[in-house]
Amino acid sequence: MTTTDRYAVFGSPIKHSKSPRIHRLFAEQTGQALSYEAQEVTAEAFPATVKGFFEAGGKGLNCTVPLKELAYRFATHKTERAQRSKAVNTLVLQTDGAILGDNTDGCGLVTDLLHNHRLTLTGKNVLILGAGGASRGIIGPILGQSPTRLVVANRTTDKAVLLAEEFKSIGDISGCGFEELGRLQFDLILNATAASLSGQLPPLPDRLLASQASCYDLAYGNEPTAFVRWGFAHGARLSLDGLGMLVEQAAEAFFIWRGVRPQTRPVIELLDGERKKA
């Protein structure tokens, strides 16, 4: 008897998740037999639901807001990048029954920047806005690209300073408040605040972008986000949202689960085309 391997994404809210669509497209493209469902799971329900999923034969899970820290705690083993980010978005059942936790968010972002948009981080001045879980997940992979300097700016200054402190052994990183950005200029600004989701923007100085700079919002939507619009209004060469990162982090999870790397470009183009029609 052949059985179809089961995968899922847990989160809350989860109704609008594009992950089932993306993974089904990957499965179709690579000829992998698998199922992938979205399931509404709150933080309270997570421990019992995740245990039940794997006991019932589930092979792998994606975890999104607000479950990434809980998934980190649930995993019996963690990759180095998961340990650094203290958050897990991908759980994998190992052959010996152990559950491996990984974080593919930062790798997905870097792949989107480098391969899809031909940007370089090496030798550049990079700014991350926000010091929450989303920032924590991307700092390691960004520093891995050897930028000249990485600044984390946050509404609550202390959080940015503490976060930078955690990563300073692997690169040139500092934390500050928005008001301290002053006359600094950056080649790439990444928005990892939750502000974008409610259409808001952190208070940013007008001359924050160096010549030929790019902006990237980790959030995405059918319409350009407030930060993507800010980038265009302030002369960014590129002002992008996180659709590419979403597809790339999914491709990395798919590769971890199935050992096959799907092509991401057709999926990004399909989803981008659909939202332009929406």
Figure out which of the listed residues 86, 149, 159, 229 binds ligand ATR, where binding follows CB under 6 A.
159
Cβ contact 108:251 at 8 Å: yes
Whether 255 and 244 have beta carbons less than 8 Å apart is answered as no
DSSP H or E run through 91: strand 90-93
> How far, in Å, CA of 163 to CA of 207, rounded?
25
Report if residue 76 touches ligand ATR, rule: CB under 6 A. no
**154 near ligand ATR, judged by CB under 6 A:** yes
- Measured from the CB atom, the residue of 203 and 259 that comes closer to ligand ATR is 203
Q: How many residues bind ligand ATR (CB under 6 A)?
A: 14
Which one of residues 45, 114, 184, 194 is an interface residue with ligand ATR (CB under 6 A)? 194
Chain positions 106 to 135 lying near ligand ATR, rule: CB under 6 A, are 130-134
Contact between 202 and ligand ATR per CB under 6 A: yes
Listed in sequence order, the residues at least 6 apart from 194 whose beta carbon sits closer than 8 Å to its beta carbon are 130, 132, 134
Q: Which of 193, 239, 249, 264 binds ligand ATR (CB under 6 A)?
A: 193
Alpha helices for 75-203 (secondary structure H)? 80-85, 105-111, 133-143, 157-167
Q: Does 156 bind ligand ATR (CB under 6 A)?
A: yes
| Local structure of 54: helix, strand or coil | helix
**Is residue 138 part of the contact set for ligand ATR (CB under 6 A)?**
no
Closer CB to ligand ATR, residue 114 or residue 194? 194
Told to judge if 59 belongs to the known catalytic residues of this protein, a careful annotator would answer no
Please state, in angstroms and rounded to a whole number, the distance separating the CA atoms of residues 42 and 45. 5
Region for 165 from its dihedrals, namely left if φ exceeds 0, alpha if ψ lies in -120 to 50, beta otherwise: alpha
By CB under 6 A, is residue 88 in contact with ligand ATR? no
Q: Which is nearer to ligand ATR, 38 or 128 (CB)?
A: 128
What does the binding site for ligand ATR look like in residue numbers (CB under 6 A)? Answer: 130-134, 154-156, 159, 193-195, 200, 202
List the catalytic residues.
68
